[in-house]
Structures are given as C-alpha cells and as structure tokens.
Amino acid sequence: MNTQKKRVLSGIQPSGNLTIGNYIGALRQWVEEQEHYECYFCIVDLHAITVPQDPTALREKTREVAALYIASGLDPEKVTIFIQSHVTAHAELGWILTCLSPLGWLYRMTQFKDKAAKQQQESVGAGLLNYPALMAADILLYQAHAVPVGDDQRQHLEFTRDLAQRFNSLYGETFVIPEVMVPKAGARIMGLDNPTAKMSKSEESEYHAVYMLDSPAQVKKKIMRAVTDSLAEIGFSDDPERAGVNNLLTIYQALSGQTGDEVMQQFAGRGYGDLKKAVVEQVNSHLEPLQARYNQLIHEAGYLDGILARGAEKAAEMAEHTLNTVKERIGFLPNRSRR
C-alpha cells in the first residue's frame, strides 16, 4: 500500500438498474481516480433499504452493480470493491453519527424531502431521514480525502463535513474532513422524458433513463424520443425550456471528452435529429465493450464473490481501526471478548 496516496471513497445503491447518469456522474470519474488515489468503492445496500426493496431483486442488483463496477474499468487489483453490509463498522458508526446529527440538519436534506414526498407521510421509514449520517460513516471510516459523486450529492457531502467537524471539536481531531469531487461535464444528467428532473435509476417510466445494460436498439429508441423543444436551435443553455437539448449536448460532451466549444462547433447549424443520432452513437460506443465485459463477469460467480470477499476483508481492517478510535473517544469500554 502506498501511504503517500490520498484516499477516495464512493458508493452506489443497488436500488435498480444503473443509468448513464450513474456512469457519467460517478463511475467514469472513479476509473480515472484509481490511478491516483487509494480507492474504496462500495455497493451501499444498507442505503438501498431506506426505501422498500424486494429481497430477491436486492441480491440480484447487488451482484449486478459489483459486476458493472469492474466492467466499467475498475481494476480489483488496484481498488477495494466491497459490499457495505459486509463491513459491520458502517452500521455501527452510522448509529453513533445518527446520535450526533441534529434533526434540523436532517430535515433540510433535499433528497429526504424528495423521497419522503413520494410516500405516505406515516410510512416514510426513519432510515430515509438518517441516511446522511450513514453516508457520513461510509466516508469517515476510511478517512477519505475526496468523494467523487454527482452534483445531487453535494449537500450530503456538506453534511458529512459539518458532522466530522462537530465530532472533531467535541472529542478531539479524529476524522479527515473530505472534499467533494464532481465531474466538470455531466455532474447532473437529466431525465430524457423530463429534462428538468435528475435522471434516476428508481424512476419507473420507460423513456426516462438509458440504463447501462440497455441494448443498442433500446438506447436508440429512448434517445430519439428524448424531449427537446420547438426552437430548433442547438446550444448549451440554463433556460428550463431548453433543458432537453442542453442535456443531450452535455451527455455528448461528457462521453466524447470534447470541450463545450468543440461540441458547439460540431453541431452548429445542424438539427436535433442529427444531435440525437450522434448521442446514440456516442452512448452505444461506450456501452458496447462495457456490456461485453459485464456479460462475462456476471457468469463467473466465483470470481466476483472472491473479489467482494477480499474487498470486505481489506475494508474492514481500515474501518475497524477508525471505529475503535471513535468508540474510545466517546467513552465506550473496550471489548475484551474474543469475538
């Protein structure tokens, strides 16, 4: 282990089919970062159960997300890939941090407000409210310096920083204060059917998201149907009326690696149909090799399980070290039993 390297941690919930929003906002950054940081990437199943999940689907999605991490280019020899619930320190520190989280901070979280609004008020689980404290535990256990996420997670990162500072000032310097890391282009990919809402894997409508495992024909159908406008003028814009075209240009820019100006030059004077076709090609050329790797991996259960077992072991070592320090600082007696 290179102790000079700074640490990175991030995670994705196994709560549905991963979208190109997850790929552009999170996974692609991670693949870059594995070269420069000591990385921990988890599949956050404890977070997924903050809304109801079917057990069979949850198991299936958890393996699927693990395979997609590797298929996207994460190298298990370089990074630690693990399942959150396999490292019990997450739940333990999550509880301790829950006790330190002011309700006022928790109620202010927009993700909580959005997700709670989708359910009957009395049946909203307490886990949905406490979600950010568990996320803070994920990050702080590894003393992560940076957390690569999409734009929607900025507020949770602020919460994590505030909580870490609060702990440090109450009990003495314990946690590294992490920085948020969002991609320059594509930090917020919008829904194809409703470009004023974030593309999300748990949105059910058929034409909302392109999934990482969609066939080329599905990708084409969804993108060709994406909502645009009647202005017939290609350009980046923050006008909500033009959000659809802006979103397509953003997807194109993020995947092609071009600058905004280069993208504009390429599409100047062309129609929306041309833009959509170019986006379809760009998306499919990324997904094709990734899906080929995925299809191999998902049939190699033993290989995947081995990676996750080694990952959990390595992650637990680091996490338990931090957790023990925390327990001592807050006044828990050390456990002298052998288990």
Indicate which residues carry an active-site annotation: 115, 198, 201
Is residue 9 within the footprint of ligand LTN (CB under 6 A)? Answer: yes
CA angle, residues 147, 148, 153, in degrees to nearest 5: 85
Site map 146..175 versus ligand LTN, x via CB under 6 A? -x-x---x--x-------------------
Residues 23-62 vs ligand ATP: string with x where CB under 6 A?
A: -xxx------------------------------------
> Which residue, 41 or 167, is less far from ligand ATP as judged by CB?
41
The smaller minimum CB distance to ligand ATP, of residues 22 and 256, is found at: 22
Q: x/- site string to ligand ATP, residues 178 to 197, per CB under 6 A?
A: ---------xxx--------
Binding partner of 38, given ligand ATP, ligand LTN, none, CB within 5-8 angstroms per partner class: none
- Which tokens belong to 165? 């500072």
Q: Does 62 bind ligand LTN (CB under 6 A)?
A: no
Least Å distance between CB 333 and ligand ATP?
A: 37
Which of the ranges 30-38, 130-138, 148-156, 302-310 carries the binding residues for ligand ATP, by CB under 6 A? Answer: 148-156
Written as one letter, the residue type at 55 is P
**How many whole angstroms separate alpha carbon 283 and alpha carbon 252?**
8
**What single-letter amino acid sits at 35?**
E
In this structure, what token pair is assigned to residue 57? 């689907």
Selection from ligand LTN, ligand ATP, none that 29 binds (CB < 5 to 8 A by kind) is: none
Neighbours of 108 (CB within 10 A): 13
Spatial contact of 156 and 109, defined as CB atoms under 8 Å apart: yes
Cα separation of 320 and 330, whole Å? 15
Q: Pick the closest to residue 213 from 71, 313, 311, 314 (CA basis).
A: 71
Please state whether 292 falls in left (phi above 0), alpha (psi between -120 and 50) or beta: alpha
183: tokens are: 């991609």
DSSP state at residue 334: P
Cβ distance 233 to 226 under 8 Å?
no
Q: According to CB under 6 A, which one of 7, 8, 9, 12 is a site residue for ligand ATP?
A: 12
What angle (nearest 5°) sits at the alpha carbon of residue 202, between those of residues 201 and 203? 95
Residue 325 sits in the site that holds ligand ATP (CB under 6 A): no
Give the binding site for ligand ATP (CB under 6 A): 12-13, 15-16, 19, 21-22, 24-26, 149-150, 152-153, 187-189, 198-202
Give the binding site for ligand LTN (CB under 6 A): 9-11, 13, 44, 47, 135, 138-139, 147, 149, 153, 156
